[in-house]
């Protein structure tokens, strides 16, 4: 089974207004997978690229979309405000 790391960003233009994700947000069981300040989403195949050097989102859009749906679902479960949720609902490519 392959292991993936999805790095996401919100639509927010003010970096001072960005909420941190909940403490237990993790893809691939690595807290460092969330990297604030990135301008677009990136996807890494941890199984073949543990150093996360090669963004493979364009070749794996279905995987990225699935992970992003899960991310948004978790944000809803964790009670992120609707205003903040709106900023994270789109997968920015």
Task: Report the number of distinct structural domains present in the chain.
Answer: 1
Confidence of residue 14 (pLDDT cuts 50, 70, 90): low
Query: Would residue 93 count as lying in a domain?
Result: no
- Per the model's pLDDT, the better-predicted residue between 86 and 10 turns out to be 86
Res. 30: pLDDT tops 70 = no
**Comparing C-alpha atoms, which of 85, 84, 93 is closest to residue 64?**
93
Res. 37: pLDDT tops 90 = no
85 C-beta neighbours (distance < 10 Å), count? 15
Q: Which residues, 6 or more positions from 65, have their beta carbon under 8 angstroms from its beta carbon? A: 91
Instruction: Give yes or no for a contact between 9 and 41, defined as CB atoms under 8 angstroms apart.
Output: yes
Query: Would residue 20 count as lying in a domain?
Result: yes
Domain span including residue 83? 4-88
HSE-CB for 1 with a 13 A CA cutoff: 2
Q: What does the pLDDT look like over 38-64, one tens digit per residue? A: 557 889 999 999 888 888 999 999 999
Report the residue count for the chain. 93
């Amino acid at each position: 089974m392959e292991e993936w790391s999805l790095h996401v960003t919100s639509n927010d233009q003010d970096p001072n207004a960005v909420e941190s994700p909940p403490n237990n947000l993790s893809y691939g069981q690595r807290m460092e997978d969330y990297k604030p300040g990135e301008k677009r989403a990136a996807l890494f195949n941890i199984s073949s690229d543990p150093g996360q050097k090669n963004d493979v989102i364009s070749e794996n859009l279905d995987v990225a979309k699935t992970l992003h749906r899960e991310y948004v679902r978790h944000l809803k479960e964790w009670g992120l405000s609707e205003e903040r949720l709106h900023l994270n609902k789109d997968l920015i490519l």
